[in-house]
Amino acid sequence: MTRAETLDNAFAVVGTDTNVGKTFVTAGLVGWLRELGSDARGVKPVQSGYPPDDDASFIADVCGTADAATCPRRLKPALAPAVAADVAGETVEYETIRDDARALLADSNPGVLEGVGGLRVPLADGREVIDLVADLGIPAVLVARSGLGTLNHTALSVSALRNRGIDVSAIVLNHYEGETLAERTNPDVLAEMTDCPVYTLPPLDVSEPSDVVAGVRKHLPLDVFPERIVSGGASLADD
């Protein structure tokens, strides 16, 4: 696949690091899109730490249907995919990851690629998460932590994405409580540093999986989605 072969109806949810809330945000966005009448599907290109980690199953549970998420490859060690495959004695090829992800995203309406850890997590054959997003030619929503230290990590991540020609449609500061001065000032400072829309998502009271969708929809605006997704269907644009 060449860089010019882009996917018009897909985007990625990537993170500044592992455990920043990518899966939570991905599930909320996929569920929101489905509530708006689309056949959105989350695509986890490769899952390590399986079991118990299973991000695709979490997204499916949140959305209430197995059709809402898929993962073509799973690895047992809880390590970066390239490292996990090496430790497990398995073969993982980057071209297979890329081509499978592209086919699954193209078959979704829209498709939402969930990243694996941070942007430079090794996938296979010397290629990383950021390579996958760039090769697919899709925009990204960047999920980051809210507190002290996020300015550096988030700004560097935005620069890395843009250097690869990846449009950053929004930054989501997850688990935002506003209890510290750093948290309260970070959104405006990051918006100035990156020239990106910055949104905050507080800790959500989630008693049922479906509460994730309601919480994400309540606290994030429709503009969190890339413009190509919002303008791709009347049900989204008219919300």
List, by residue number, the catalytic residues: 44
* 163 belongs to an annotated ligand binding site: no
Residue 127 dihedral angles phi and psi, to the nearest 5°: -105, 150
Cα separation of 82 and 69, whole Å?
22
Handedness of CA 165, 99, 97, 236 (dihedral sign): positive
* 20 belongs to an annotated ligand binding site: yes
Instruction: Determine how β-strand 127-128 pairs with β-strand 122-124.
Output: antiparallel
* 19 belongs to an annotated ligand binding site: yes
Q: How many CB atoms lie within 10 A of CB 188?
A: 10
Q: Locate all alpha helices (DSSP H) within the chain, ordered by sequence.
A: 22-35, 55-63, 81-88, 94-106, 129-136, 150-163, 181-194, 211-219, 227-230, 234-237
Cα separation of 1 and 105, whole Å?
14
* 165 belongs to an annotated ligand binding site: no
* 76 belongs to an annotated ligand binding site: no
**In degrees to the nearest 10, what's the CA dihedral of 211, 212, 216, 217?**
-40
Handedness of CA 160, 164, 167, 172 (dihedral sign): negative
* 109 belongs to an annotated ligand binding site: no
* 21 belongs to an annotated ligand binding site: yes
β-pair partners for 168: 140
* 111 belongs to an annotated ligand binding site: no
* 104 belongs to an annotated ligand binding site: no
Among candidates 8, 11, 7, 6, which has minimal Cα distance to 225? 11
* 95 belongs to an annotated ligand binding site: no
* 178 belongs to an annotated ligand binding site: no
* 92 belongs to an annotated ligand binding site: no
Binding residues for ATP: 19-24, 55, 114-117, 174-175, 202-204
Binding residues for substrate: 48
Binding residues: 19-24, 48, 55, 114-117, 174-175, 202-204
Binding residues for Mg(2+): 23, 55, 114
